Chains A and B, each alone.
Chain A
Amino acid sequence: MVINMVHIVPEIIKESVTNLVKNGERTDGRAFDEYREISLETGVIEKAEGSARVKIGNTQIMIGAKPQIGTPFGDTPKVGVLMTNTELLPMAAPNFESGPPDENSVELSRVTDRCIREGKVVDLEKLCIIEGQKVWMIFLDLHVLDYDGNLMDAAVLGSVAALMNTKIPTAKLEGDEVVLDYDNMMPLPINEKALMSTFAKIGGELIIDPSLEEEEIMGARLSIGITEDGSICAMQKGGAEPLNREEVLKAVSIAKMKTAELRTHLP
């Protein structure tokens, strides 16, 4: 995906959205700490071993998980592999074009991956079949269908749901051979449900779950991944404007509450 056209936001819209925020309001009437409507379905793709479709407002992502047997990395011979890949489809927005992943797509993949990996969502050590030779590799593919702001939170929520939905065949060792038993599928070993909350800084205020309109004019963005016990597992700042210490700390405390709220959407 390549974002080919620079989208120019009219100054008047920038000004009016900023003024609204300064008065404690948002264009769609939400509170500063209020998410848009969220819907989450799992098991939507039968050919994928795990899948989910997530919607936050009009933002929509389809996520599929597919396991494959592969070779572990040399420095982690006893650990399974998780690969996250994102496609910002050209159908998702008028300024998205097809092509190899660009920096926005790679950032989204990497931040999602970081939240899931560092949050230890999947117990990757249980995915080892033969130490140093054969491990399960889980490919997580994110297909962005409709882009209306805040892809990060949708990506992490949908990815965790898809991983929770994933079943892999049991792998047994018979001599030197790996035997896969498709009659005995087992769920992925999940030991954590780390989720992410994203804030946009507009007019000196922090607003959660920015819509596209808000993302286009925001000065800075802060995404925070939080585990079930409330500790922080991943962060990413975006945008050209700086953030101060108090803003960051405030965002963290709101994210703790809001990720707990998001977690109620998981099955």
Chain B
Amino acid sequence: MIIIITNLNTGTETSARADKRAFDELRNLKIEAGVLERADGSAYLEIGGNKVLAAVYGPRELFVRRLMQPNRAVLRCKYNMAPFSVDDRKRPGPDRRSVEISKITSEALSPAVFLEKFPRSTIDVYIEVLEAEGGTRCAGITAASVALADAGIPMRDMVVACAAGKSEGKVVLDLSEIEDKEGEADLPIALMPRTGEITLLQMDGHLTEEEFEKALDLAIVGCKKISEEQKKAIKNRYGD
């Protein structure tokens, strides 16, 4: 038997949210483009306690011929969590969760990329979660878009992702780890900010129709705010 003594704060907070944020407030956000030497494009993103690295290779030759598309490139994603990124060590290698996130990330990014310009080739996107604190799939998509732009891959828009949800009965933006685990609902979305077209939509939990509409609108506002930071990261690296 192992007993664990922890010093978790369980006192009542004055603010409705555990980290005292307003309902429509994002966690602290930092994005940096071009952080790796070997990759064609890369980006590092921190939001709250999340630390995510994204790298892009390509367009390049696709060796797996059965995946090859005669009229366009394929965009392959690999989302992976470092063993040390979570409280209890995660066993290395893909699990069902990371396979699903890889798939939806690829589908979230593909509509923005001019894949038709690179038939029979591949664009590979690698997302590494170095530290996880709720909302890593959104952080990964946001970082991956910046890495794609850093790699000089032609795109219609820079896809951005953000989640909204319901925690302690209130609809809130950008759920933290505790809000995600103990909250009532989580709604991560990704969109192309120029047109507002949604490229990723997932939900788990329970929301009424009104709450869903509120959460969706909140997530869209969050995406637009993060989008400005993505642009800043590219401008910081390449100038206006």
- Contact check: which of A47, A58, A139, A180 meets B5 at CB < 8 Å? A180
What mask results when residues 49 to 92 of chain B are scored 1 for a CB within 8 Å of chain A, else 0? 10101110100100100000000000000101011111111001
In the complex, the answer to whether A100 meets B93 with C-beta atoms within 8 Å is yes
Q: How far is the CB of A143 from chain B (nearest CB, A)?
A: 5
Residue-wise interface mask of A (145-187) relative to B, using a CB-CB cutoff of 8 A (1 in contact, 0 not): 1111000000000000000000000000000111111110000
Residues of A with C-beta under 8 A to B36: 60, 91-92, 145-146
**Are B83 and A176 in contact, CB atoms less than 8 angstroms apart?**
no
B42 to chain A, nearest CB (A): 7
Rounded to whole angstroms, the CA-CA distance of A94 and B53 in the bound complex is 16
**Bound-complex Cα distance A176 to B5 (A):** 17
Which residues of A sit under 8 angstroms from B126, Cβ to Cβ?
Answer: 89-91, 98
Bound form: Cα–Cα A177–B4 in Å: 11
Give A66's nearest chain B residue, CB to CB.
B89
B-side contacts of A69, CB under 8 Å: 2
Q: Which residues of B contact A65 (CB under 8 A)?
A: 84
Is residue A259 within 8 Å, beta carbon to beta carbon, of the partner chain?
A: no
Main secondary structure of the interface of B (DSSP, over half): loop
Cα–Cα distance between A179 and B3 once the two chains are bound (Å): 5
A85–B92 touching, CB < 8 Å:
yes
Contact A146 B83 (CB under 8 A): no
A19 part of interface (Cβ distance < 8 Å) = no
Interface pick from B128-136, B191-199, B212-220, B225-233: B128-136
* Residues of A close to B53: CB separation below 8 A: 91, 145
State which of A87, A91, A177, A178 has its C-beta within 8 Å of the C-beta of B92.
A87
Residues of B within 8 A of A91 (CB): 36, 39, 42, 53-55, 57, 126, 128
Q: How many residues of A contact B (CB 8 A)?
A: 40
Q: Do A64 and B82 have beta carbons less than 8 Å apart? A: yes
Number of A-B contacts (CB under 8 A): 109
Nearest A-chain residue to B86, judged by Cβ = A47
Complex CA gap A241/B131 in Å reads 42
- Tell whether B15 is near chain A: CB-to-CB under 8 Å: no
Distance to closest chain B CB from A61 (angstroms) = 12
Across the interface, do A178 and B3 meet the contact criterion of CB distance under 8 Å? yes
A45 at the interface (CB under 8 A from B): yes
A45 to B131, alpha carbons, bound, how many Å?
A: 6
Docked pose: A148 CA to B2 CA in angstroms: 43
Q: Which residue of the partner chain A has the closest CB to B58?
A: A94
Residues of chain A in range 40-55 having any CB-CB distance to chain B below 8 Å: 45-48, 51
Write out the residue numbers on chain A whose beta carbons fall within 8 Å of the beta carbon of B208: none
> Taking the nearest CB of chain A, how far is it from the CB of B186, in angstroms?
20
CB distance from B44 to the nearest CB of A (A): 10
B93 touches A178 (CB 8 A): no
A47-B132, A64-B82 known; A181+B38 contact, CB < 8 A: no
Within the complex, what minimum Cβ distance (angstroms) separates A27 from chain B? 15
Q: Which residues of A contact B7 (CB under 8 A)?
A: 182-183
A-B contact pairs, 23 of them (CB 8 A): A47-B49, A58-B37, A64-B85, A66-B84, A68-B89, A85-B92, A90-B78, A91-B36, A91-B54, A92-B38, A98-B126, A143-B82, A143-B130, A146-B36, A146-B37, A146-B38, A146-B39, A177-B2, A179-B5, A180-B2, A180-B3, A182-B4, A183-B5
